[in-house]
Structure 1
C-alpha cells in the first residue's frame, strides 16, 4: 500500500459512505458502534463527501486515511472497507467497484448507507444511541 500513487489510494474507496457515519466507542472495550447519523458533508444519495477536497475547512477533525495511518484507524473503519481489508491482508469483496468496473455496484449490492442516514445537524449528540445500526458494518 505504501507504494500506491495518490490516485490508486483514492480508488480504493468503494463509496459506501460508512466511514462518514458517526460512531460511539465503548471506553472500556473499545468496541465501535455505528449510527445512522452521518457527517454533515455526506451526500446521502451518492454516499460521497459533498466537499471532499476542502472537507477539513468544515470538519477539521475529519480523518485523512493514508498508508501511514490506516493501521491505527482500521479498528473503527467498517469491516467491508477496502482500506481495512488490505491492511488486514484480505481481498476486496466481489461487489467492489475496482472488481466490477461499476461505481454503483456498492449500492446495488446493498452495502452502502445510501438512503438510510440522517444528518448530524438534525440529531443532538445525546440522541445518537437512538440511531444505532445493528450488526456488523
Structure 2
C-alpha cells in the first residue's frame, strides 16, 4: 500500500500516527493553525489562572495572525516562548483550548477548520476562532491597563 504524499510534503494525518517527539520541523510548524491566540498577552493570577487579553505581541501581524518576524522574534521579544515537544507540557496551561499543539498532545482531534484538515489557511479565520481584527498592539496600552482588555477565547 502506498501513501500519497501531498505537494506540501506532509504525510496525510501525520499527527494521528506520529508521536510529537518524532515530528520533523515542517510537521511541527504545520500543527500551528494560525489563529494568533498564543501571541496575545496573558495575565496570570496567583492561583495560576490565565486570562487572555486582546493585547497582541508587538510582532503579531493582526491581519494574517502570524508573527511578522518569526525567525528573529527572540531578538525583539526575548520572553517569547519556544514551543517544542520537550516544552509543551510546561506551557500547556497557557495554550488556547483550540490550539493544534494542545489538541494533539491531549490526543484529541483537530477541528474541521484547522488548515491541516481543511487544506486552507483562511479556514481558521472564516470559522471565527482567530484573533483577526480584534487585537490592540501592546505598545498602545499601558501594562497597568491590560486587565481592562481581558477577553474570552474565541471558539
Please report the TM-score for the alignment, with normalisation by the length of structure 1. 0.96
Instruction: Give the greater-gyration-radius structure (CA).
Output: 2
Output the CA distance in 2 between the equivalents of 1:134 and 1:87.
23
Higher RCO structure, 1 or 2 (CA under 8 Å, sep 6+): 1
Output the CA distance in 2 between the equivalents of 1:55 and 1:136.
25
Which residue pairs with 1:65 in the alignment? 83
2:29 equivalent to 1:4: no
Output the CA distance in 2 between the equivalents of 1:136 and 1:41.
20
The root-mean-square deviation of aligned C-alpha atoms, in Å, is 1.0
Q: Structure 2: which 5+ runs fail to align? A: 1-19
1:96 deviation in Å? 0.2
Please report the TM-score for the alignment, with normalisation by the length of structure 2. 0.85
State whether residues 74 and 87 of structure 1, in contact with CA within 8 Å, keep that contact through their aligned partners in structure 2.
Answer: no
Which residue pairs with 1:25 in the alignment? 44
CA-to-aligned-CA distance 1:16-70 (integer Å, 9 cap, x gap): 0000000001112x11100000000000000000000000000011001000011
Q: Structure 1: which 5+ runs fail to align? A: none
Q: Which runs of 4+ in 1 moved over 2 A?
A: 134-137
2:109 equivalent to 1:101: no
Residues matched between the structures, number: 136
Aligned CA distance change for structure 1 residues 63 and 111 (closer, same or farther; 3 Å):
same
**1:33 partner SS:** strand
